[in-house]
Homo-oligomer: A and B are copies of this chain.
Amino acid sequence: MFDYKLLAALAAVVEQAGFERAAQVLGLSQSAVSQRIKLLEARVGQPVLMRVSPPVATAVGQRLLNHVQQVRLLERDLQAQVPSLDEGGAPERLRIALNADSLATWWASAVGDFCAEQRLLLEHLVEDQDVGLKRMRAGEVAACLCASERPLAGARAELLGAMRYRALASPDFIRRHFAEGVSAPALARAPAIVFGPDDQLQHRYLAALGQEGGFCHHLCPSSEGFVRLAEAGFGWGLMPELQVQAELGRGSLVELLPQRPVDVPLYWHHWRNGGALLEQLTRHLHRQADKWLVPVVGV
């Protein structure tokens, strides 16, 4: 068997984003954590961590973390069957990467009851799809909810449905920028709001209207902040229908081109051998998701 004390040290340094916090969590001195990482590297025969801030796992380190994540899920199953194995420590948290808009809208309602019944603690990592899947491949998360349909090796990717987005702006913004009506060229000239460098929704929306190329935009990596900026007249942008019911109701946000929603599919990525809990959560999500998500056309 591997020496899991060493692997747990590696996992703690990466999860806690540093040696100091890893030491606190493990109840060890920082030099003891360092020592364990060095010992692990001596056994593996190569570095497992790049010593940058925060520390990053090397390729081989990632394979080790991936293994740790899966062993933890299996341990949880075993503990459910053999409760005396429970060491009384803090309960393990299931780490899940998901897109910011799901976390800001339907996710909590969909899994709240499940977590309360199972006494399950969650750690959420807000990541766009590429980083979320990279973290899953690196063994840092047990599952990932994102728009990419391609499963990782050893994992499943299941379609849950789609989030519907609408292009919205404040009435004041519309008066200022679309006095002649909302046309595609006028839209391309008005400032937009974009979540981050990976957010292509606004680009795709303009492209579908025949407007290719760059456009000026604010950047706001916060779902709630995005809606607040739109309401305050910073720019136009695509927002999840689920998130803006109140704003649409009171008229502080207005749809720019009605009947042009954008549907973004959401896939649930999870390890095939992720243990019973992850399987149950997956089944639960399938039962719940269509309360909030729309069906994907053509699937």
Interface residues of A (CB under 8 A from B): 16-17, 21, 50, 52-53, 56, 90-91, 93, 100, 103-105, 107-109, 111-113, 115-116, 121-126, 176, 191, 197, 214, 216-225, 228-229, 231-234, 243, 246
Contacts and interface: CB of A to CB of B under 8 A. Distances in A.
Copies of this chain, complex-wide, total 2
* Most interface-central of A50, A52, A176, A233 (chain B CB within 10 A): A233
Contacts of A116: 176, 233-234
Given A90-B214, A112-B232, A121-B191, 11 more contacts: A50-B52, A91-B216, A104-B225, A107-B225, A108-B231, A111-B232, A115-B234, A116-B234, A122-B220, A123-B218, A124-B219
A121 B21 contact: no
Given A17-B197, A121-B216, A228-B105, A100 B222 contact: yes
18 contacts: A17-B197, A90-B216, A93-B219, A100-B225, A103-B224, A104-B225, A105-B224, A107-B228, A108-B228, A108-B229, A108-B232, A108-B234, A109-B231, A116-B234, A125-B221, A126-B225, A222-B224, A224-B224
A225 B123 CA distance: 12
Contacts of A126: 221-222, 225
Contact of A225 (B56, B108, B217): B108
A61 to B, nearest CB: 13
Contacts of A105: 224, 228
Nearest to A192: B121
A107 B224 CA distance: 11
A144 to B, nearest CB: 15
Contacts of A232: 108-109, 111-113
A218 B103 contact: no
Given A214-B90, A218-B121, A112 B225 contact: no
B221 A112 contact: no
B123 A234 contact: no
Contacts of A100: 222, 225
A178 to B, nearest CB: 14
Contacts of A121: 191, 216-218
A17 B197 CA distance: 9
Contacts of A112: 229, 232-234
Contacts of A216: 90-91, 121
A167 to B, nearest CB: 18
Contacts of A103: 220, 222, 224-225, 228
A122 B124 CA distance: 27
Nearest to A16: B197
Contacts of A109: 228, 231-232
Contact of A93 (B104, B176, B218, B233): B218
